[in-house]
Structure 1
């Protein structure tokens, strides 16, 4: 069965936001899909990059996944819950997908890491979960100005004519934009390593694992750095298990 971060039937074909991951390592993990972790927040997002003309309905929030086959590097354990968010708005997510664990940093790695370091602790309900998803889509597929209202990725402040839907959608939109506006303000403590999961036929995901409590050099804290999976696996053995993101 196919699942999607959109309620549209996803005949979106080759609409490309070009989030191709470079996966130098062949390390993989197989994940099961168990729906969104919180109540669905319905939003409208644009799948026509830069044009703002093809808005579709999207079920927005954090995926609840589980590890069916762990990776050889030991980042994920069998049966572990993985909380993740969608990277590609034009793809769907399926049950039992094998993901490559990308080991080369993307242009958005630093900003996504900072987003989680600053705001992941606030993700405790459907509104904050949806806000995190919108912010991720903007960072990965949008422009340097990080505005949901324009650029290569766009979202609507409202969903439809239902006041309840509009209220929730607007709250998520407003919070996501606030986080984006404040993303680069001040210093932030390093708490999370970003994990980028890719599959050519399914939605790419992003999740995080908690870093070791032992202070490490900044470069050593980055999952998607030149240190690759080997360095991460060593750190993860001392980390608190089980958390990640995506939608």
Structure 2
């Protein structure tokens, strides 16, 4: 009588595949604040019904160095970003080490999709102080008042709100009103640091669909294929 060892051996192969699929080491980058790109706008805003305060809204420029590993996208000479949280301050007087990850890891797929719609639809209207401030305001609204149906974003009420009547506020609201009709065409990334303001990376985003599957690298494909052949060989030996 031949003992059936195929299933236990297959289980061992499955465990082997799972053991090599370890979580990737986070990419780190050292950055230092430089300035606001093409100026900024002063906005009066509040979060969670706290007292309104004046904040600078706009695009931020960082210098960067010491990438721990290659990025999944190409950066320009400078790194440009937008603040993610309204309440957290950014440290401007020191070099900070951030971790880089995909936006959906931080926000979840639905909220990240809304943010990529904002980027896909209106990135070409940034570059001025008004356009940059509008993008920042719209981003804060999505982060703090997200609704899965992408309707009902109102800068004048909600968890995040502004009492300013700047042109950038009107522009941001018009962008938010159009989000549901825009298709995500990019994969966004963020920088996170527990001691400073998290940042949405604006420069260097790849022109790929947010929902496109990530291709398996050739070595990984060959490894999985090899395990399949091994399993087939074992099965034939037991026949």
Q: Report the TM-score when normalising by structure 1.
A: 0.66
Q: Measured at CA, do residues 75 and 98 of structure 1 come closer, stay the same or move farther in structure 2, by a change above 3 Å?
A: farther
The equivalent position to 1:65 in structure 2, one of 58, 62, 65, is 62
The equivalent position to 2:88 in structure 1, one of 84, 91, 94, is 91
- 2:212 is paired with a residue whose SS is helix
Shift of 1:93: 1.6
- 1:171-205: per-residue Cα shift (whole Å, max 9, x none)? 010000000011112x5472x32111111010000
- 1:194-244: per-residue Cα shift (whole Å, max 9, x none)? 1111110100000133325xxx665337xxxxx59x98xxxxxxxxxxxxx
Task: Give the aligned CA root-mean-square deviation in angstroms.
Answer: 2.7
* 1:147–1:177 contact (8 Å) kept in structure 2: yes
- 1:150 is paired with a residue whose SS is coil
Indicate the residue corresponding to 2:211 in structure 1.
219
Q: Measured at CA, do residues 75 and 93 of structure 1 come closer, stay the same or move farther in structure 2, by a change above 3 Å?
A: farther
Shift of 1:63: 0.1
Cα distance in 2 for partners of 1:134, 1:217 equals 24
| Unpaired segments ≥5 residues, structure 2 | 1-22, 218-239
Shift of 1:140: 0.4
Indicate the residue corresponding to 1:6 in structure 2.
none
**How many residues are matched?**
184
Q: Measured at CA, do residues 143 and 54 of structure 1 come closer, stay the same or move farther in structure 2, by a change above 3 Å?
A: farther
The equivalent position to 1:176 in structure 2, one of 164, 172, 177, is 172
Indicate the residue corresponding to 2:135 in structure 1.
132
Shift of 1:30: 1.1
Describe how 1:46-57 pairs up with structure 2 within 5 A.
46-47=46-47, 49=48, 51=49, 53-57=50-54
Cα distance in 2 for partners of 1:189, 1:217 equals 6
Indicate the residue corresponding to 1:163 in structure 2.
none
Cα distance in 2 for partners of 1:179, 1:199 equals 29
- 1:113-146: per-residue Cα shift (whole Å, max 9, x none)? 0100000011020000000000000000124221
Between 1:58-67 and 1:85-94, the stretch displaced more is: 85-94
Indicate the residue corresponding to 1:8 in structure 2.
none
| Unpaired segments ≥5 residues, structure 1 | 1-22, 159-169, 222-226, 232-247
* 1:67–1:77 contact (8 Å) kept in structure 2: no
- 1:65-98: per-residue Cα shift (whole Å, max 9, x none)? 1212224133477983111000112222223111
* 2:45–2:161 contact (8 Å) kept in structure 1: yes
Query: Highest Rg: 1 or 2?
Result: 2
Please tell me whether residue 151 in structure 1 is matched to residue 158 in structure 2: yes
